[in-house]
A and B are shown apart, each in its own frame.
Chain A
Amino acid sequence: MNDGSGRIGVHDLTKQFGAVTAVAGLGFTVEPGGVTGFLGPNGSGKTTTLRMILGLVAPTSGEARINGARFAELDAPGRVVGAVLEAQGFHPTRSGRAHLRVAAAALGVPDRRVDEVLGLVGLADAGGRAVGGWSLGMKQRLALATALLGDPQVLVLDEPANGLDPEGIAWLREFLRGFARQGRTVLVSSHLLAEVEQGVDHLVVIDAGRCVFQGGLEQLRGTGPARVLVRCPDPVRLAQALAAAGVVEIDTLPDGRLGVGGVDAARVGDVALAAGVAVHGLVEERVDLEQMFLQLVSGVRR
Chain B
Amino acid sequence: MTVLGSTLRAEWRRVATTRLWWALLIPVAVLAVLVNLFGGLLGAGVGDTGGDFPVLPASVAFTLTLTVVFAAVYGTVTAAGEFRHRTVTTAYLAAGGRGRVLVGKLVAGACVGALYALVAVLVGVAVGLLGQGTGRVSGAETLVGVAAVGITVAALWGAIGAAVGVLFANQVGALVVLLVYLQVGELVLAAVLNNSGSDALARLTPYLPGNSGDVAIYDFPARALAGPGFADRIVEQLAGVTAPPPWWGALSVLGGWAALAAVLAWTVGDRRDVT
List the interface of chain A (C-beta within 8 A of B). 17, 47-48, 51, 54-58, 72, 74-78, 81, 83, 85-86, 88-95, 98-99, 101-103, 105-108, 146, 149-150
Contacts and interface: CB of A to CB of B under 8 A. Distances in A.
Interface in B8-29: 9-10, 12-14, 17-19
B13 A101 contact: yes
A106 B10 contact: yes
B245 interface: no
Given A57-B273, A89-B85, A98-B17, A103 B10 contact: yes
Nearest to A48: B275
Contacts of A89: 85-87, 89-90
Contact of B87 (A47, A55, A91): A91
16 contacts: A51-B275, A56-B89, A56-B273, A75-B96, A77-B94, A83-B89, A89-B85, A90-B85, A91-B17, A91-B18, A102-B17, A103-B94, A106-B6, A106-B7, A106-B91, A106-B95
A90 B7 contact: no
Contact of B18 (A78, A93, A146): A93
B104 to A, nearest CB: 8
A94 B17 CA distance: 6
Interface string B255-275: 000000000000000010111
- Main SS at interface, chain B: helix
Contact of A88 (B81, B86, B92, B97): B86
A130 to B, nearest CB: 10
Q: Assign chain B's interface to a size class.
A: 20 to 34
A93 B1 CA distance: 29
Which of B1, B9, B273 has its CB near the most chain A CB atoms (within 10 A)?
B273
Nearest to B100: A106
Given A51-B275, A105-B6, A86 B17 contact: no
Contacts, number: 88
A211 to B, nearest CB: 21
Interface in B72-89: 81, 85-87, 89
A83 to B, nearest CB: 6
Interface of B: 1, 6-7, 9-10, 12-14, 17-19, 81, 85-87, 89-97, 271, 273-275
Given A57-B274, A91-B18, A86 B86 contact: yes
A108 B95 CA distance: 9
A78 B100 CA distance: 14
Nearest to A150: B94
B13 A105 contact: yes
B97 A72 contact: yes
Given A58-B273, A102-B10, A83 B93 contact: yes
Nearest to B6: A108
Which of B91, B94, B275 has its CB near the most chain A CB atoms (within 10 A)?
B94
Contacts of B271: 58
A95 B14 CA distance: 11
A56 B14 contact: no
A149 B14 CA distance: 17
B23 to A, nearest CB: 11
B14 A102 contact: yes
Contacts of B9: 105-106
A97 to B, nearest CB: 9
A86 B91 CA distance: 13
A93 B22 CA distance: 14
A90 B87 contact: yes
Nearest to B93: A83
Contacts of B275: 47-48, 51, 56-57
Nearest to A56: B274
Nearest to A85: B89
